[in-house]
Structure 1
Amino acid sequence: MTENSDEPIEEATACGSSDSGQLASSASWHHDDEVDDGYDDLLASIGRTEDQDRRIAVHELSHFFINRLLGTSSISEVTIDPAGDYEGLCRGARRSAFTKEGVVGADAADIRKILQPIMPEPGQDRTPKADVFQSVLDACTELMAGEVGEGMFFDEPCFASDDRRQAIELASLVCRSPEAIEQFLSFCERQAFDLLSEHVTVLMSMQIILRMHRTMSGSELDEAIASVLAHQALARERHRREQWQRTVERAAAFERQHVIVRTR
């Protein structure tokens, strides 16, 4: 279940608690039960299982990844520590296409109420509001990414009701019917899936890091992602060199065997 966040923040996506799920990938941080690292006590204090904590980290990081992959880079902080009526949260600045039109509220319903009257009607030139159309697409893709990211690693994603509610509010700015909104959000989900699919291993490494830190700034996450990518590139290069060394050794063995055969 996902609750609406009433935090006085510019733009937020919140994830609520959910039923436990099983990761499809084995890449995960399992702390040593023999070592008192405080993690069990932390989970007990916030009423979560380790699987639930992992799920929330994946959910929030999926929002963050799409924010960066779309070039928005507006999220300035991600937390998976619960507070108020949310279990995890992404904090960030409002999109410039919205603020320049006078948007002051954080919730998508506030954005819709302000922008709906000034959106072009059928037959009117849409060029002056092209940045609003693009921002709606990007925002909805980012909002739907939490569920999409969970669905990639767990049996079933939690139903992020507030993410979906806000996406519907924004989609109504560019769609003229409930059916169109449904199709539009399906497209956003697919776009989020395609983008996240290219970075699955990075996402899984990052959920471990976020679960350790609990709250990270956007710059800290950017640096951590860069470090993970560098380590993965180094691992790929080592693997390539090992493969090449085995190829050279097999070629040398073949040559020696061939020479022996010819001399007999």
Structure 2
Amino acid sequence: MSEKAPAEEGPASLLAKREAAVEVGLVGDLGGGLDVENDDYDRLLASLGRTFEDDERIAVHEAGHAVCARLLGHDVGGVTVNPDVSHGSEGLCWGVGHAEAFVEGRGDASDVRDALRSVMPKAGEDRQPVADVFANVYAKCIEFVAGRAAERMLLEGEPPEPTDDLRQTRELAMLIGSSEEAIATFIAHCDVAALDLLMPHGDVVMALSIILRIKRTLDGAEIDQIIQDMEARKVMTVERQRRVDWRKRELVAGRFRAEFDHLNAAPLSNIVQNRWCNQR
């Protein structure tokens, strides 16, 4: 997860808005102007040197970072799919307060490693006093690789290597392991853990990525609202299905009761005759 202040918001595509309306149900009637808005989106992509597929991939990648961060209990300052030429990033997801950290030149994982390296226990030393450091490093590494995990979950093919994400993951992993094998194995584990964490929430990642492509930049409050709306809709869907299933059971019970009452009301000779005919 790259951490930096957002870029300027760009134009949105009505085609993407309609996609969001269908997929998420968060917007209503969007009116006309499809061709004009679609042309705006095409011009935006051309100015960025991107294809539609590239923009979709970047949005899914950054949405994966944001959703993973919230699942791990980390606050998110914002997310954008607009590139930052000065840092060579295609999109960004940043934590609360990290804009100031970057301005002060201390927002990179390498800065964190340099600050913590001296307090990390050596072989044979008690690790309990810095157990929270190990836990936070582990969680942050999962968060760094979650963008690639989201791409693997929702898009076809193997995603391009997220160079900066992996570099920062490696910086933190060096606080836990020292050998190349240990670091590589730890990062591979984080890949699996990130996918495992995101898998039950693929619909939330997709919804967030669609809206991100529309608005180009979202702040932390908007991200939380989208997640809350999606979770509320899932609860409503489950409740509606529960009521449908309950109604089916009521109908089955009603038919059974009616048949039972009919049999009780019929003369015994008719019941015997019917059973005899069925046996024949």
* TM-score normalised over the length of structure 2: 0.74
Deviation, 1:196, is: 0.6
Residue identity in the other structure for 2:93: C
Instruction: Provide the residue aligned with 1:178 in structure 2.
Output: 180
Q: Find the aligned partners of 1:231 and 1:28 in 2 and give their Cα distance.
A: 9
Q: Find the aligned partners of 1:259 and 1:36 in 2 and give their Cα distance.
A: 67
Equivalent residues in 2 for 1:139-158, closer than 5 Å:
139-154=140-155, 155-158=157-160
Instruction: Provide the residue aligned with 2:117 in structure 1.
Output: 116
Q: 2:43 aligns with which of 41, 44, 53?
A: 41
Q: Which runs of 5+ in 1 are unaligned?
A: 11-25
Deviation, 1:109, is: 2.3
Higher helix share: 2
Q: Find the aligned partners of 2:256 and 2:127 in 1 and give their Cα distance.
A: 69
Q: Which runs of 5+ in 2 are unaligned?
A: 6-21, 271-280
Residue identity in the other structure for 1:50: F
Instruction: Provide the residue aligned with 1:194 in structure 2.
Output: 196
Deviation by residue 1:211-246 (Cα, 9 ceiling, x = unmatched): 211101111110111111112211221122122223
Deviation, 1:178, is: 0.9
Q: Find the aligned partners of 1:106 and 1:42 in 2 and give their Cα distance.
A: 30
Whether the 8 Å contact between 2:77 and 2:97 is mirrored in structure 1 is no
Q: Find the aligned partners of 1:217 and 1:33 in 2 and give their Cα distance.
A: 27
Mean Cα displacement is larger for which, 193-202 or 103-112?
Answer: 103-112
CA, structure 1 residues 238+183, in 2 after alignment: closer, same or farther (shift >3 Å)? same
1:88 aligns with 2:91: yes
Secondary structure of the corresponding residue to residue 71 of structure 1: coil
What is the CA RMSD across the aligned residues, in angstroms?
3.0
* TM-score normalised over the length of structure 1: 0.78
Instruction: Provide the residue aligned with 2:134 in structure 1.
Output: 133
CA, structure 1 residues 233+36, in 2 after alignment: closer, same or farther (shift >3 Å)? farther
Equivalent residues in 2 for 1:195-234, closer than 5 Å:
195-234=197-236
CA, structure 1 residues 238+247, in 2 after alignment: closer, same or farther (shift >3 Å)? same
CA, structure 1 residues 260+47, in 2 after alignment: closer, same or farther (shift >3 Å)? farther
Secondary structure of the corresponding residue to residue 107 of structure 2: coil
Deviation by residue 1:14-44 (Cα, 9 ceiling, x = unmatched): xxxxxxxxxxxx9589x99954323333223
